A and B are shown apart, each in its own frame.
Chain A
């Protein structure tokens, strides 16, 4: 049971929601964008998307300044 997050394998999130994973990894949802299996995920779907074995996530975290 593996979920890939930014290229790293994570074992403990199978069956959990995307929100639970993001919270567990310390992300603040207002500062990020998430691609799941190549598709951007809408922010209001984070709490309903359930993670399955083999899912691949890219999480981009933005910092301030410009």
Chain B
């Protein structure tokens, strides 16, 4: 066991503590208080290597990356905000199938005087709704019944496979996603030891309004030295300033 201190001041200590087989052995020969005080006063003897080399590493991980990556892929269409609001003023969400399914509830769709697809950035029937996804029309992505989607070349896609649809325009994002540098994930970096969960595009980006709206951040640090500094005037410290104290 090589015990060396980088500072010559502590070399004596290091030799004394390690040279007699560590503190445990020393306790037997000296009174414990002396050792304790010595340790307190000079407690500066770390060793560069491990006394027990088997403690340096844990068990090696053997085998291939057998665990997979599960991608959260919603299999159904989402919910759109309707012009109706609840008591809190929050728009009531309506599932697409309510109107576009086999048994449409037409009364919902025909709210007079108000466009229905609030928050859906599309042009529909000459009416311009919120422009949040470029100048796309429904038909650019949806099939005629509006319940499934298709690629630009007409290939039908299941709703769980929409990442291919998004990748048609968002190439760099798709490339980054495939290399694990876009979109959040959970689980294991080491696929030899456990699986990973990822999101597909529409889990985070609402397809009709994909941009993240600005939001309030989580709580910031509250260290005493980060608090606003008191402002100084010609008369001295401003009267309303609080003196910074340790938090």
Whether A and B are associated in the same complex: the answer reads no
